[in-house]
Amino acid sequence: MALELDDLIKGQSKKETDTLGDEINTVAVIGQGNVGRSLTWAIASAGIGVTCIEKNKESALLAEKKLEKELELSVKHWKLTSGEKRSILSRAYFTSDFTKTVDADLIIETVTENLKLKQEIFKKLEDIVLDDVVFATNSSALSITELASELKRPENFIGIHILSPVKKIPIFEVVRGVKTSDNTYEKIKSFAKLINKKIIEIKESPGYVTTRVIMPMLNEAMYVLMEGVTNGMNIDATVKYGYDINEGPLTLADRIGLDKVLRILEILFLESGEQKYRPCPILKRLVRAGYYGKKTNKGFFIYDEKGNIIEENNIF
């Protein structure tokens, strides 16, 4: 009989817990966008030091300020104490200097879905870090085997698809490449226990499970909007309340980031040839206009500075 998710997360033995710290003591997170910052928060909350890497000093400073602001908002809403906020920030070191990853036991990349960019980052890191460091990509759709193909130690490479907000999501997908070693997989299992997550092992396939299942729904909602069946507010309300889920598809797309949604759909369409992944023209139009969703305060909906919907973006 299968255990419930809570039992699987809480059911680790004391022996396992005691040995985890010897394996993962320091983590580096490359890319401090929404997912990267959320991951940094979760890791630092577990008492682990995090080296937070951004592309330049200005971006690193901005990311640090954003995390501090997000933590302060949680303090105001009584979800976090001031002491916990200070503790989290004390464990997060923001920089653009890749050499600061030298002591990391695990490096997680969370940058945009661009194969060449991700490969370049890992090749650069490979010349800096120790030979036994684990490289993990948070890619939503790219091939783990292809991402690792140009590395000297592809056996150290693995995919961990972590959804945001990381603190609230109890699971993440783990995807092995063809050459991923058992030792690398075991280290990721240890890391998952440290941050109180359950891993779900997925075979390498475009979009894995979460991305592959959700993207057609988001795309179809956009086509419904484009065809004028009803407005965006009604589409979201119908799906949200009709199926008792947290948010509608257009709101979810805005939260993920429309530029990211478009890139993922393009990858899935290219890999599979399935028409269900053919990006809706409305999505392309928004992205070309620079309307990426909540992170730009404008996507399918217009948002205030706190991320609340003000009104529908009536440009269609």
Give 34-74 pLDDT, tens digit per residue.
Answer: 899 999 999 999 999 999 999 999 999 999 999 999 999 99
The yes/no answer on whether domain 24-202 falls in CATH 3.40.50.2300 is no
Range with the poorest average pLDDT among 115-119, 181-185, 302-306: 302-306
Q: Is the predicted pLDDT of residue 13 greater than 70, yes or no?
A: no
The pTM for the full model equals 0.85
Q: Which CATH superfamily includes the segment(s) 213-309?
A: N-(1-d-carboxylethyl)-l-norvaline Dehydrogenase; domain 2 (1.10.1040.10)
Q: What is the pLDDT of residue 23?
A: 73
Q: What percent of the chain has pLDDT over 90?
A: 84
Nearest to 297 by CA among 257, 240, 246: 257
Q: What is the pLDDT of residue 26?
A: 93
Q: What is the pLDDT of residue 305?
A: 84
Residue spans in the chain of domains classed CATH 1.10.1040.10: 213-309
Residues in the chain: 316
Contacts of 217 (CB under 8 A, 6+ apart): 239, 249
Range with the poorest average pLDDT among 3-17, 158-172, 260-274: 3-17
Residue spans in the chain of domains classed CATH 3.40.50.720: 24-202
Determine contact, residues 115/36, Cβ cutoff 8 Å.
no
Q: What is the pLDDT of residue 74?
A: 92
Calpha distance 81→294 (Å, rounded):
26
Q: In what order do the strands lie in the sheet with 92-95?
A: 92-95, 49-53, 26-30, 106-109, 134-137, 157-161, 171-176, 198-202
Token pair belonging to 247: 């948010």
